[in-house]
Structure 1
Amino acid sequence: MDNPATIKNDPYASLRIPEFNYYLVIRFALVFALAMQFTIVEWKVNALTHDPFALGLIGLAEVIPAVLIAPFAGHIVDKREKRGLLLLCVIAYIIIGSGLFLLTWDKAVEGIPTKWVLNMVYFLVFLGGVARSFLSPANFSLMALIVPRTLYANASTWSSSSWQIGGMAGPALGGLFIYFLGIHWSMLLVVGVFFAPLYCLIKIKPKPIHYKAQGESFVDGLTKGMRFVWKTKVVLNAMALDMFAVLFGGAVSMLPIFATDVLHVGSLEFGFLRAAVAVGSLTTMFVLAYKPLVYHPGLKLLAAVFGFGLCIIVFGLSTSFLLSFFALLISGMLDGISVIIRQTILQLKTPDDMRGRVAAVSSMFVGSSNELGAFESGFMARLMGLVPSVVFGGCVTLGVVITTYIISPAMRKLDLKA
């Protein structure tokens, strides 16, 4: 039998579990398809409106159901078999993607007023947010049922890496496919990609349910995840730091307008800008698979988010495509540190019977901060102007980091040893 310590120190340990490899394909394909889909929708909405606020509404349309339904979704996920729920989510995305394909096809919407087309796009994005409210906790819970606890940190690194590969390739190829194929055929390709996770989920066996009601009321069960996060300060601080950094430091949602109006580039360069953050994150994650963040991870997390804020400020002030690309690239490298530390904290600190609800809380306050940040960026761009709003967001991120350092000794003393 292999020595547990040796397995734990093996950077490829979790990859030796066959079902985990299927899980990585699922993780990659879903993020790849959704990132490409979001990029195509952004480009289409910008082409129809040329309004930063309209771009912000895309994020708002997805974040509303993701936040409102998340507590119920997490409760349901903990009580149900996770693989089956993921299957339903993927089927829902296939249906939603098909609808977006029709709405981005000029022949299919010929004669329909632009306002109605936009409203229907927002509605389908809203339905995607409903599906995502179940997808995030089910996906998070499934990983813990596939790999042993001693490999959570290693598995989180590879899982985050697959997520970042999808996040990198989706926008980049989205820009390329828009350029070569057009918007509607690119959206049809997204629908085809969703069949890959459908196949992989069939190859994974159903998993046991660890839910323990213990006579608790419906309200208690619904709020248990929130109470756990509130009491576990390391989890709370990590979520809050990431949420506010992404909320105020997220400039990615404004990239279509930055590309066309500030940097004066086309869809191809837009795709590269959109992928730059994920490329940087992916680079970091491959390094961290060999060099885990064991010593002083809390301080490293704070330093990384501070550097992330500085990169956003540089991006906001830049009028050079190359400088903007490298600012986003470095911000992604620093963001990769945050992602891995936060995911490892959640996996190690969350009890098995509460994973769905805790992941739902994370989805509400962290996962949804990307979309809420998109709305905030669009609103502030209309209020302050495009460039000042991005610079302001970067400055707020720096303030959040400094405040967290001062008020959170738990974060400064964080230890990720399992």
Structure 2
Amino acid sequence: MNTFANHCRAQLQVPRNTTSKCILDEVTRKGATAKYLQRIRQVLRSQLNGKNKIRAINSYVLPVIRYPAGIISWPMEEMKATDVKTRKLLTMHGGFHPKSSTLRLYTSRKEGGRGQVSVRATVQDETSKIHKYIKDKASTDDVLSECLRQWGTEDEVLEVPSWEDKPLHGMYHRQITEVADIRKSYQWLEKAGLKDSTEALILAAQEQALNTRAIEAQIYHTRQDPRCRLCKEAPETVQHITAGCKMLAGKAYMERHNQVAGIVYRNICAEYGLEAPRSKWGTPPKVVENDRAKILWDFQIQTDKMVMANQPDIVVVDKEQRKAVVVDVAIPSDHNIRKKEHEKLEKYQGLREKLEKTWKVKTTVVPVVIGALGAVTPKLEQWLKQIPGTTSDISVQKCAVLGTAKILLRTLKLPGLW
């Protein structure tokens, strides 16, 4: 900090309101801002995933602003203008939806945000730290004491409201609070390694920021008919497109469902040394078997008495331990995950009883339920541990989110990046 004290002595030789000081500050700000924008374009043009791009902005780009911050004056208007330019550049490169929540962009990923640090927060944080140093040392240094007198002792406190409290942007969070594990529901932002454009699309969908026909009719008032462009029946909301349209149920939803179930299936095959489809797009055979286990895929099981639900996604029979696991996957609307999990358990109780009686094996029903936009139930990790093999909750969650992103892009036919 000796360098800083020497700088303070130099600054005190020139009154802070002089023309030369103002010109020097302005030149420094312009130079730092130009370098900042140059670096941020460099990062956004890179092939980094979404999380690493934000990390690069925070660790490689923002230090250009942080270095002179607190030493020179930085008007609030300029800080806000630079943050606006940053968001425009993110939007141009597909990393931020223009109608998405600005507050959420600057919220940590653990709390469901993107984790970016704003220019305003950077400048104010650095200024606050320098002021704290001056206060601590002013009693032993006359120069710093004079700096303290000129600068004042009050630091501006940056109050950031929560995106969760916003009527539209926070609606998704409020809906899943009672039914989902919030930390697990947002873990894909930290662990999935998705492209920034995919992250931006899913978050915009959660925030009701996409231009669905219901939003255009009810919020923007640019359309009269809010009905779905495909089924022409229900209002076209994000929830309807991702999990409720009958025109998408036959192919799009089934493709997403099979991708998630396929992850579980391949992990089971690996556990028992059975051959699985090499491609994730390959359809598993109805039955695979060896000396250790038998695995049924979407197989209709015959029983002596009729059981209505007799075709689960996967049935695993461990021959050595005389155990069976009935696995069924569902990807409903996020607010409906707890209800769907209960339905799956109830649905296959009849089949469970018949298998125990007929096959003489201890049978367990395991529901694997993930919300279309990533919400997971508090018990998902426990359910996955009951399935042979090692299937992580993040792997099935990531797969579901990617499937939903594909459905949204195909259905809404977003122009350009949006």
Give the TM-score range, shorter chain.
under 0.3
TM-score (norm 2): 0.25
Which structure: larger Rg? 2
- Larger fraction in strand: 2
- How does the TM-score come out when normalised to structure 1? 0.25
Higher relative contact order (CA 8 A, sep 6+): 1
